[in-house]
Amino acid sequence: MSEEDRDRNVLLCIPFAGAGPSFFHPWRELSAGRWRVTSVELPGRERRILETPYRNVVEAAKNSIDDIVEDLGDGARTTLFGHSLGAVFAYEVVHLLSARGVHVERLVVSGSPGPWTQRERRATGLPDEEFLARVEEFAGFRHEALDHPEMRELILPVLQADCEMHENYVPSTDEPVSVPVCSIRGDSDGLVGAEQAQEWQKATTGAFSYAEFPGDHMYLVDHARDVLDLIEAEAARDH
């Protein structure tokens, strides 16, 4: 694949709660030149650590869309990938891009029930220790940075804002998207069941596919290459 083709094939990744663009940096090498891997950089993390994080998905997507359009450039063949919070954020971004006439090839959602299903079990509003315990239970792992007081002070407010943003999410529209949707989950995810992950079929008027990988809610930590191979295989079916 030529460099020009790779740059036109864009994989736009939306981070999950508490994460930033650096989570997806290894994906650049793993993608082996298949895409230009880029991601949305939200306030409150990494280079934007001093900015106030969002607490509303629809507002965050609307305020990010100009930067996203600029990053994609003209004529990009764009696939969106979002895990958990990132999935519903990506869903809003597809609607916004469609409204601007920007073509999206596919939406790949991971570890997420359909956009109209609100979380039954919540972490929002719990005291700090209970909140962290609940998030750890949801995710199936504890971020080691939370054991360092200085890092915890930086990360905790963002994680709390992200959880609130996710758990209170209501889609901006009842209209489904028209792009093909692929939904993925870890086969032992205790937070999102198979039926919930397949609710995304109702969120598109286009093709729908579903896949599972071994693991829990954060399966993608160990299966990034498999996810990228799946996205490539899905794209190949279209051409």
Categorize the per-residue pLDDT at 6 as very low, low, confident or very high, splitting at 50, 70 and 90. Answer: low
Q: Is the pLDDT of residue 142 over 80?
A: no
CA distance 192 to 184: 10
In a domain, 42, yes or no: yes
What is the CATH number for 168? 3.40.50.1820
Task: Show the tokens assigned to 228.
Answer: 């990228």
Quote the percentage of the chain above a pLDDT of 90. Answer: 61
Domain count, the chain: 1
d(CA 209, CA 198): 8
Residue of 185, 187, 31 whose CA lies nearest to 108: 185
197 found inside a domain: yes
Residue identified by tokens 């469609």 is: 98
Q: What is the 3-state secondary structure (H, E, C) of 18-47?
A: CCCHHHHHHHHHHCCCCCEEEECCCCCCHH
Average pLDDT over residues 97-102: 94
Instruction: Give the C-alpha distances (Å, rounded to integers) separating 54 from 32, 41, 90, 98, 135.
Output: 33, 12, 15, 23, 18
- The 10 Å Cβ neighbour count of residue 32 is 13
Q: What is the DSSP letter of 147?
A: G
* Residue 179 belongs to some domain of the structure: yes
pLDDT tens column, 13-35:
999 988 889 999 999 999 988 99
In a domain, 183, yes or no: yes
Confidence of residue 178 (pLDDT cuts 50, 70, 90): very high
200-239 pLDDT per residue, tens: 999 999 999 999 999 999 999 999 999 999 999 998 777 6
Domain enclosing residue 52, as ranges:
3-234
Q: How far apart, in Å, are the Cα atoms of 183 and each of 20, 58, 60, 100, 212?
A: 22, 21, 22, 25, 9
- Side chain identity at 137, as an amino acid letter? E
Q: Is residue 134 part of a domain?
A: yes
122 falls within a domain: yes
Higher pLDDT, 74 or 4: 74
Give the CA angle between residues 97, 102, 106 to the nearest 5°: 75
Residue 127, pLDDT score: 83
Report if residue 239 sits inside a domain.
no
Q: Is 190 domain-assigned?
A: yes
pLDDT band (50, 70, 90) for residue 1: very low
- Mean pLDDT, to the nearest integer, of 104-129? 88
Q: What is the DSSP letter of 62?
A: H
